[in-house]
Amino acid sequence: MNKSVNHPYDELLTAYSAGSLPLSQALCISAHLEHCQSCGQKLQRLNRVGSQMMQQLKPAPASADLKNQLLDRLDSLTEEQAPVESKASEPDSSIPRCLRQFIESRYEDLPWKRVSTDIHSVELCRDSNGARVELLKIRPGGSATTHTHLGDEYTVILEGSFSDESGLYGQGDFMVKGTRDKHTPVATRDRECICLAVTEGPIQFTGFISRLLNPFIRRSYA
Ligand SMILES: [Zn+2]
């Protein structure tokens, strides 16, 4: 399956391969990879290059202190590790594997909060850098109100589709909007749209009436 047309740019995939991305951005890349064969192949190539580079590095001699710390850590690991019991209810198979740690069963069962007539949201976690990881649900034909961001916004469409000023986006599509990008996502009328969204700063609504919402959004972000 490779129907996704909007992909993470190469620098992001390279950082993902090197394990240097913040958790919140890595979740978006993982969710996209579950829908995108071409990025999966690109990632395999990057992983191969990374491991070849590692093999070419000359090992540095370890200090006696470091060796002792490692041996202590190994001892404690063998004592601590117990098999993890699997949960009774299995998550819906349409939920990306990388998100199943946050979603026990189905999207419908999550504690959605109403943001507006058209949008509900649920926070999954906060990254250590402060970024908010959440799901957004837009009702069929609903609009996410014109907004910009005080930080970058990463979005992956998990269910349904939406369009904005740049075009139509479907399941698996990945996009990044910067602080200067103003956009108005509108879900298609056939079904609701569920997105994984990572925001690194509060959303700024830019419409005349919706500007009134900004103080509330900033407060909920703090
Ligand atoms: Zn891709």
pLDDT digits (tens, 9 = 90+) for 172-201: 999 988 877 777 889 999 999 999 999 886
Nearest to 216 by CA among 204, 208, 206, 207: 204
SS3 state at 221: helix
* Range in 4-8, 137-141, 153-157, 207-211 the model is least confident about: 207-211
Distance 2 CA to ligand 1 centre (A): 8
Centre of ligand 1 to C-alpha 91, Å, is 24
The residue written with tokens 């191969």 in the block is 48
Residue 108 tokens, joined: 């419908």
pLDDT at 212 over 60: no
**Domain residue ranges in the chain:** 10-56, 103-221
Q: What is the pLDDT of residue 73?
A: 64
Identify the pLDDT of residue 89.
64
Residues 6 or more apart in contact with residue 128 via CB below 8 angstroms: 22, 23
Q: How confident is the model at residue 222 (pLDDT cuts 50, 70, 90)?
A: very low
How high is the mean pLDDT of the chain?
81
Give residue 14's pLDDT.
Answer: 92
pLDDT tens across 65-79, in order?
A: 766 776 776 666 555
- In angstroms, the Cα distances linking 158 to 61, 79, 83, 104, 113 are 47, 40, 31, 16, 18
23 CA to centre of ligand 1 in angstroms: 18
Phi, psi (degrees; rounded to nearest 5) at 103: -120, 105
Query: What is the band of 41 on the pLDDT scale with cuts at 50, 70, 90?
Result: very high
Query: What count of Cα atoms within 13 Å lies in the side-chain half-sphere of residue 204?
Result: 13
Q: What's the gap in Å between 58 CA and the centre of ligand 1?
A: 34
What whole-number percentage of the chain has pLDDT above 70? 72
Q: Domain 103-221 belongs to what topology? A: Jelly Rolls (2.60.120)
- Residue at token pair 């090992």: 59
Q: Which residue has the tokens 């109403």?
A: 114
Residue 5: the pLDDT is 67
The reported pTM is: 0.73
Question: Phi and psi at residue 49, in whole multiples of 5°?
Answer: -60, -45
Question: What's the 184 CA to ligand 1 centre distance in angstroms?
Answer: 23
pLDDT at 208 over 80: no
At residue 209, the pLDDT reads: 47
Lookup: tokens for 9: 């740019």
Q: Amino acid identity of 31?
A: A
Between 123 and 185, the higher pLDDT residue: 123
The label of the residue with tokens 């992983």 reads 47
The rounded Å distance from CA 42 to ligand 1 centre is: 9
